[in-house]
């Protein structure tokens, strides 16, 4: 005799029903041909909370401008971890005249002859400005040694200087936050497949990305070394579990708002 499996009964609160019947909730309810009520509720809650937090970011920026404060936020993590998407949500509604997104290309020949940190010093904020680094000086801690873009001596020099460099940034009356977006190997593989099959995203795939799965364990080895050496009391790493992009974005914004003592 065949057994009929009943779908589990879901109890929605009055608040859940109110969200589902809002314009935001209805948008997600009818976003797909097959309605997934739980997913629609989850996404609607995310969008509502995101907008609330983005409004607080506007207040934070007003305080930064008014008080002449300086903020540096680093976004690190494996390829396809969601760093760029998080930055876009953070910067979506703040004044573009007072923030910059820095994603530096490969160093020029001239820059290769300079002190490694020089090109990053040139990008630090002036009073009243926020700077978001989509990858930062920590390229030399993980990406460069894994892909043989630097020598062992250059790597050792960097690791010997980076904590003092960050201490100097902090002592120059600058707020410094270091985010690391952490994803699993399976999630990275899934996201790479999505990028490769999308005509709108293919440009994101680089030669370094192509080797990321193959070099997964090497990345892990250098990532662990980076955490062990640079997770200091004055400049700790904030590790965000980023398999769920929406959750990581919310947690990043909350951390910024809770860490920087701006006056609302």
Model confidence pLDDT, tens digit, residues 190-223: 999 999 999 999 999 999 999 999 999 999 999 9
User: Domains of the chain, with CATH numbers?
Assistant: 69-259 (3.40.50.300)
- Residue 5 has a pLDDT of 46
Angstrom distance (rounded) from CA 123 to CA 137: 11
pLDDT of residue 8: 54
**pLDDT at residue 1, as a whole number:** 40
Instruction: Enter the tokens of residue 91.
Output: 């910067």
Tens-place pLDDT, residues 104-146? 999 999 999 999 999 999 999 999 999 999 999 999 999 999 9
DSSP code at position 62: H
Instruction: Look at residue 3 and tell me whether its pLDDT is greater than 70.
Output: no
Contact 109, 49 (CB under 8 A): no
Query: Does residue 6 have a pLDDT over 50?
Result: no
Average pLDDT over residues 13-21: 86
What integer pLDDT is reported at residue 18 of this predicted model? 85
Residue 48: what pLDDT?
96
140, two tokens: 């030399």
Strand partners, 77: 181
pLDDT band per the 50, 70, 90 thresholds, residue 263? confident
Q: Are 222 and 231 in contact (CB under 8 A)?
A: no
Structure tokens belonging to residue 143:
């990406």
State yes or no: pLDDT of 7 exceeds 60: no
CA distance 224 to 219: 9
Residue with tokens 């739980």: 38
- Give the pLDDT confidence score for residue 32 in this predicted structure: 77
Q: pTM for the whole thing?
A: 0.91
Cβ proximity of 79 and 208 under 8 Å: yes
Q: What is the pLDDT of residue 22?
A: 86
The per-residue pLDDT of the chain, averaged, comes to: 94
Mean pLDDT of 168-175: 98
Q: Are 174 and 72 in contact (CB under 8 A)?
A: yes
Nearest to 142 by CA among 79, 59, 51, 54: 79
For residue 260, what are the CA distances in angstroms to 57, 73, 214, 254, 263? 11, 11, 39, 10, 9
Contacts of 166 (CB under 8 A, 6+ apart): 176, 230, 232, 234, 235
CA distance 81 to 207: 16
């Amino acid at each position: 005799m065949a057994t009929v499996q009943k779908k589990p009964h879901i109890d929605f609160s009055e608040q859940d029903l109110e969200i589902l019947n809002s314009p935001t909730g209805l948008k997600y309810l009818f976003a797909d041909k097959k309605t997934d009520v739980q997913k629609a509720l989850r996404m609607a809650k995310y969008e509502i909370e995101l907008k609330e937090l983005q409004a607080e970011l506007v207040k934070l920026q007003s305080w930064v401008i008014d008080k002449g404060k300086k903020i540096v936020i680093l976004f690190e993590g494996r390829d396809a971890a969601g760093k760029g998407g998080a930055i876009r949500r953070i910067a979506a509604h703040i004044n573009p005249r007072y923030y910059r997104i820095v994603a530096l290309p490969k160093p020029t020949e001239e820059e290769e002859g300079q002190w490694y940190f020089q090109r990053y010093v040139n990008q630090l904020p002036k009073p009243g400005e926020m700077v978001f680094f989509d990858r930062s000086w920590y390229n030399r801690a993980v990406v460069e040694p894994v892909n043989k873009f630097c020598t062992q001596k250059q790597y050792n020099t960097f690791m010997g200087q980076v904590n003092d460099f960050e201490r100097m940034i902090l002592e120059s009356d600058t707020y410094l936050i270091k985010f690391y977006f952490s994803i699993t190997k399976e999630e990275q593989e899934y996201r790479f497949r999505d990028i490769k099959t999308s005509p709108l995203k293919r440009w994101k795939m680089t030669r370094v990305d192509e080797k990321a799965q193959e070099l997964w364990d090497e990345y892990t080895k250098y990532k662990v070394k980076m955490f062990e050496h640079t997770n200091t009391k004055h400049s700790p790493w904030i590790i965000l579990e980023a398999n769920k992009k929406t959750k990581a974005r919310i947690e990043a914004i909350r951390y910024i708002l809770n860490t920087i003592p701006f006056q609302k």
